């Protein structure tokens, strides 16, 4: 690269397929400035698919986590209490109660009160 390094910059390209689709990272490209980057982005990465929005951002402007900081990403594997696995059988329970037949004997046993 050498001399070119000052002229071309790396741009990251993001796009949405439809208006309410999530923003997706597509690719990166080389361009001298953001206008050229935008013009290149469309035909390089979204030529054969529908697209409703395009973002480009100079990679230099992105604050990335560095190698040292990646240490902060580590977690102990003891987080069961934070997980909602306990609710996993709710659907099954609902199905069970919905299937109970409310016969005469059952309703009379409530003695005028709705049993909850």
Partner 1 sequence: MSEKPMHFHPDGQAALVELLFQLADDDFLIAYRGSEWLGLAPHIEEDIAFSSINQDTMGHAAMYYQLLEELGLGAADELAHVRPAEERRNAVLLELPNGPGHYLREPRYDWAFTVVRHYFYTQAKRVRLESLRKSAYTPLAEVAAKIQVELHYHLLHWHTWFVQLTNAPGEARTRMIKAIQDAAADFAGVLTLGARGADMERWGLIEGEDVLTEKTIAALAPAFTEVGIEWPMLFGMKHGNGRNGEHTPDLDDALATLSEVRRAIPQAIW
Rounded least distance, CB 55 to partner 1, Å: 16
Torsion (CA) 37, 40, 46, 48 in degrees, nearest 10: 180
With binding defined as CB under 8 A, does residue 39 bind partner 1? yes
Q: Is 101 exposed, middle or buried (0-12, 13-18, 19+ CB in 10 A)?
A: exposed
Three-state SS at 24 = strand
To which H or E segment does residue 14 belong? strand 9-16
With binding defined as CB under 8 A, does residue 49 bind partner 1? no
Q: Which residue has the tokens 């986590």?
A: 65
Q: Which residue has the tokens 């902060």?
A: 72
Q: Among residues 7 and 61, whose Cβ is nearest to partner 1? A: 7
Q: 80 is written with which tokens?
A: 């069961």
With binding defined as CB under 8 A, does residue 33 bind partner 1? yes
Which of 44, 93, 96, 107 is close enough to bind partner 1 by CB under 8 A?
Answer: 44
With binding defined as CB under 8 A, does residue 53 bind partner 1? no
With binding defined as CB under 8 A, does residue 35 bind partner 1? yes
With binding defined as CB under 8 A, does residue 31 bind partner 1? yes
Rounded least distance, CB 87 to partner 1, Å: 49
* Interacting residues with partner 1 (CB under 8 A): 8, 29-33, 35-36, 39-40, 42-44, 47
């Amino acid at each position: 690269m050498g001399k070119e390094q000052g002229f071309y910059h790396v741009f990251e390209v993001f796009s949405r397929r439809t208006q309410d689709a999530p923003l997706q990272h597509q690719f990166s490209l080389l361009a001298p400035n953001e206008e050229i980057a935008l013009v290149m982005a469309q035909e390089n990465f979204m030529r054969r698919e529908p697209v409703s929005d395009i973002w480009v951002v100079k990679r230099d402007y992105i604050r990335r986590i560095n190698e040292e900081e990646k240490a902060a990403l580590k977690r102990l594997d003891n987080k069961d209490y934070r997980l909602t696995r306990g609710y996993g059988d709710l659907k099954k329970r609902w199905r069970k109660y919905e299937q109970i037949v409310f016969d005469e004997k059952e309703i009379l046993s409530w003695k005028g009160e709705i049993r909850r």
